Chains A and B, each alone.
Chain A
Amino acid sequence: DAGVIQSPRHEVTEMGQEVTLRCKPISGHNSLFWYRQTMMRGLELLIYFNNNVPIDDSGMPEDRFSAKMPNASFSTLKIQPSEPRDSAVYFCASRRQGVPQHFGDGTRLSIL
């Protein structure tokens, strides 16, 4: 199993640009989670899906952030427009019932 696959691994862009982060969960996993990790705030849950349906998006910082899960094997997290304070490592994780969450390698995002 390839594990949770995130792309890109690194993204550097200028403020105001649209950023799209991608995640492919482990096959057979039906819950998907997006996290943000910063030195200041630690690990924060942004949003999670179950069977492709968003369950709780209360962690999404503001309307500039949006996430979709069009099918069981793909999810995106979009930031538009991006700001320097969005710089962080963004992790995706997936699980199915009875199995712990497995994390991807993360996307290291830098907004200049």
Chain B
Amino acid sequence: AQRVTQPEKLLSVFKGAPVELKCNYSYSGSPELFWYVQYSRQRLQLLLRHISRESIKGFTADLNKGETSFHLKKPFAQEEDSAMYYCALIRDRGSTLGRLYFGRGTQLTVWP
């Protein structure tokens, strides 16, 4: 079975500080990993997918298959980064159905 774990329910940092949101997964196949972001009272938006290997809004995430992790990082947090962040996986890349398995989310607060 697959599982996505986000160990921190809440995370607070000051503006300009580095931030890392942790995500660990368990699945024996070849999953595709994602980060979604949800700003206050808004819809979930795709932030990153591991196969794209791009940086969005200064965030990066690298898939570590050895540690089965997909941590989200940003070197200098901004107040507008305050949001709920969800890590999610699709069990197999190219999946026809594309069901996402979500972690419980991490609420990030960036203080001025």
Identify the A interface with B (CB < 8 A): 31, 33, 42-43, 45, 48, 50, 55-56, 91, 93, 95, 97-98, 100-106
Contacts and interface: CB of A to CB of B under 8 A. Distances in A.
Contacts of A93: 44
Nearest to B105: A42
**Majority-rule SS of A interface residues:** strand
B44 A103 contact: yes
A55 B97 CA distance: 9
A31 B98 contact: yes
Contacts, number: 46
A48 B99 contact: yes
A98 B32 CA distance: 11
A91 B55 CA distance: 26
B34 interface: yes
30 contacts: A31-B98, A33-B100, A42-B102, A42-B104, A43-B44, A43-B102, A43-B105, A45-B99, A45-B102, A48-B97, A50-B96, A55-B99, A56-B99, A91-B43, A91-B44, A93-B44, A95-B98, A97-B95, A97-B96, A97-B98, A100-B34, A101-B100, A103-B36, A103-B43, A103-B44, A103-B45, A104-B43, A105-B42, A105-B43, A106-B43
Contacts of A50: 96-97
**Nearest 9 A/B pairs, CB to CB:** A103-B44, A103-B43, A105-B43, A95-B98, A100-B46, A42-B104, A43-B102, A50-B97, A31-B98
B49 interface: yes
Contacts of B102: 42-43, 45
Which of B44, B98, B105 counts the most chain A CB atoms within 10 A? Answer: B98
B87 to A, nearest CB: 11
Contacts of B34: 100
B70 interface: no
Contacts of B99: 33, 45, 48, 55-56
Nearest to A45: B99
